[in-house]
Chains A and B, each alone.
Chain A
Amino acid sequence: MNERNSNLTPACAPPVQSAAEGIYACPHCGAAMRKWTTPAGSSWGESVQYVCFNDECPYYARGWNWMQSQYNVRASYRHRYDPLTGESGPVPVWSEDALKSHIAAE
């Protein structure tokens, strides 16, 4: 059986600035990630995750061209982090505003 790997690469493991306050920094731009409630009906399971909603984040900004050139789609992605499992990765967005309506109060 494979067990969850806790040795995540730096790109996948945002440094915890203050675990007590639950503030996480985006590994791509350093901005504070925002608390994000996962949409009902999705399979994310956990009720709260963290997403980098910095529109200047180079990872997100470059993503538009990357997705267009690689997959011919008008989409990008933002960095997402699940504090419960330590798992993180790109979550797709189709507009600058996508997912922002799920930002929860800190």
Chain B
Amino acid sequence: MANFETIEVTTDLLILGGGMAACGAAVEAAYWAKKNNVKVTLVDKAAMDRSGAVAMGLSAINQYVGLKDGKNTLKDYVDYVRNDLMGITREDLVANIARHVDSTVHLFEKWGLPIWKDEKGNYVHEGRWQLMINGESYKVVVAEAAKNALGMENIYERIFIVGPLMDGNRVAGAVGFSVRENKFYVFKAKAVIAAMGGAVHVFKPRSSGEGLGRAWYPPWNSGSSAYFTIKAGAEMTCQEVRFIPVRFKDAYGPVGAWFLLFKSRATNAFGEEYMVTRKTELDNWVPYGHVKPIPANLRNWLGMMDVMEGKGPIYMRTEEAIKKLSEAEPDEKLRKKKLKDLESEAWEDFLDMTISQAILWAGTNVAPEEKPSEIAAAEPYFIGSHSGASGAWVSGPEDLAPPEYFWGYPNMSTVQGLFCAGDASGASSHKFSSGSHAEGRICGKAAVKFCVDNADQPKIDAGTIEKLKAGILKPIDLYEENKKGSSDPDINPNYIKPKAFMFRLQKIMDEYAGGVSSQFKTSKPLLEKGLELLGFLKEDSEKLAAENLHELMRCWENVHRMWQAESHVRTVMFREETRWPGYYYRADLPKMDEKNWKCFANCLWNPATGEWKMIKREIIPMYKEAGDYELLGG
């Protein structure tokens, strides 16, 4: 076995991740831990200042409810989420986050995040739930508070967590390795919070070749949350609900400013506006098709229909928008100045968020005032905190959850002591950055309570740890044993390198599970074939080889992705309808079946038998069904 020193750390509460949810868990857990003499340890794959999806910064906070000022009610937010997810939402979880999120935002402000306010102290809203911020250091501000709360002596950075340690149905910690030095880490804990993000690059991305690695969601989020919870034996939910954002094609530049500020139109190649010409299609998806705002997946779907009919490319008509805005100025001299200003704003829209899009414009001779730019639906992502919903099936809070949704501790999965937040917990989407932090806080408090109530340290035998260590380091051993078997270290009859493995996974998912090249369409026969190929891939994962520590991380990232992929394929196959046509389309079952499938589709992998089980769970609403008022967005 590769010569790695084993470092053992024993703690009470172990927080896995360094993003917004983990930082929320850290500050809250630190507070309750001090009162209860509980030790809290956090492990991050990267460095907390810039880890997680918020690493690059944001220009808005997307979830702020404004309860204190009477701006909205909890029901308003629940209605918004339920409608956008076509009725499939754990209302208790959404409401629990919504009632805590404002205080999280107030904490951000207290810690130094500039949130725009008018001269009277009112937040400047970009949308009903959106607050404008100067957010280039958003993550740094939030991480600093978490680090101060926990103390750096309790934080382990640059350690990649591979999987769980278990004591029967109770989580007992986690194992992983340093991505900087030859050290194998064993973290023993009474409770664990999984907050390691969602998954990217499970599907083949639009960006390939020289653009490989570019994505809308951070490429380092590789499905570790899903792998960890599935392998622990936790019941998972909404694994079929992937998210597909529409972005400027190939560099994933944001489209929002063009719609909102420039009032740009999106048209097909023939100048037809699909949101107008396809409007009657929304009648096929009632009641959700008549909701305002129109659910994100249905907006996608109308554009996809044009593409499938060969009416692409789809264009953002930047030239038209800029011309219209500049021509509103009657004075010729001022008009020229205004045109220059608009050009600057157009470039700045990318330069402050997605620089690569500006580079692509430059590289393809695009002047936005002269010609339109292509927009496209991106490849699918697994992101329970945004407009997807995948993640673990977790307990709701005692005062909001029905008995069927409550098992003692808020946000605890079906595994004892394993809590989930952010992208790791399912069926409660539209948390975004602030809601993920709030959910982390909910987890932090609940997990400390679990540690107090379950003061015994779970049992793990040394043999199990040695077996896990050997398995995790196996890719390095395999490489060393076989590296002389060929003249090219990347091609060898006895092993597969992680990059080639990732390509195989992405090809399977793209072609059989409804990726970009199959126009997001799939069917039962395609899914069955895909599952068969995933089975071969799983066999071959035993032959993953790593030349160094970095590749060892890549090996395990791809194993994590593979498990996310399998749970997705199985759940899409289980849900015998098409409910989110702009995310995926079951060509063999093209209609929504509200009677049979307005339910949660859950899955469970049994660690003892290695078998999967599919489960239907009832949707138990907290509020009455949305009436006309709510459907109009009230």
Contacts and interface: CB of A to CB of B under 8 A. Distances in A.
Interface of A: 1-8, 11-12, 39-47, 59, 62-63, 66-67, 70-73, 75, 77, 84-85, 87, 89-92, 94-95, 97-102
A44 B292 CA distance: 9
Given A2-B70, A97-B325, A43 B119 contact: no
Contact of B118 (A3, A46, A77, A95): A77
B292 A46 contact: yes
Nearest to B115: A71
Given A42-B260, A102-B263, A90 B128 contact: no
B292 A45 contact: yes
B632 to A, nearest CB: 7
B59 to A, nearest CB: 10
13 contacts: A4-B70, A7-B70, A12-B122, A40-B259, A40-B294, A43-B130, A63-B118, A85-B72, A89-B122, A90-B118, A92-B132, A94-B261, A94-B345
B624 interface: no
Nearest to B634: A84
B69 A5 contact: yes
Given A39-B260, A70-B114, A89-B124, 11 more contacts: A5-B69, A11-B120, A40-B259, A43-B127, A43-B130, A70-B117, A92-B126, A95-B341, A97-B328, A98-B261, A102-B263
A77 B134 CA distance: 15
Interface stretch (B73-81, B415-423, B444-452, B480-488): B73-81
A41 B260 contact: yes
B324 interface: yes
B71 interface: yes
Contact of B293 (A41, A75, A97, A100): A41
A43 B129 contact: yes
A99 B634 CA distance: 22
Contacts of A62: 119
B503 interface: no
Interface of B: 67-76, 80, 114, 116-120, 122-130, 132, 134, 255-256, 259-261, 263, 275, 292-294, 299, 324-325, 328, 338, 341, 345, 632-634
A44 to B, nearest CB: 5
Given A71-B114, A71-B134, A73-B134, A90 B261 contact: no
B411 to A, nearest CB: 20
Main secondary structure on B side of the interface with A: loop
Contact of A43 (B69, B293, B634): B293
Contacts of B118: 59, 63, 66, 77, 89-90
B71 A87 contact: yes
A71 B76 CA distance: 30
A93 B495 CA distance: 57
Given A41-B259, A95-B341, A46 B132 contact: no
Contacts of B299: 40-41
Residue from A7, A72, A95, A99 having most chain B Cβ neighbours under 10 A: A95
A90 to B, nearest CB: 4
A41 B256 contact: yes
Nearest to B126: A92
Contacts of A40: 259, 275, 293-294, 299
A71 B116 contact: yes
Contact of B634 (A41, A72, A85, A94): A85
Contacts of A4: 70-73, 76
B118 to A, nearest CB: 4
A46 B629 CA distance: 10
Contacts of B134: 71-73
A72 B294 CA distance: 35
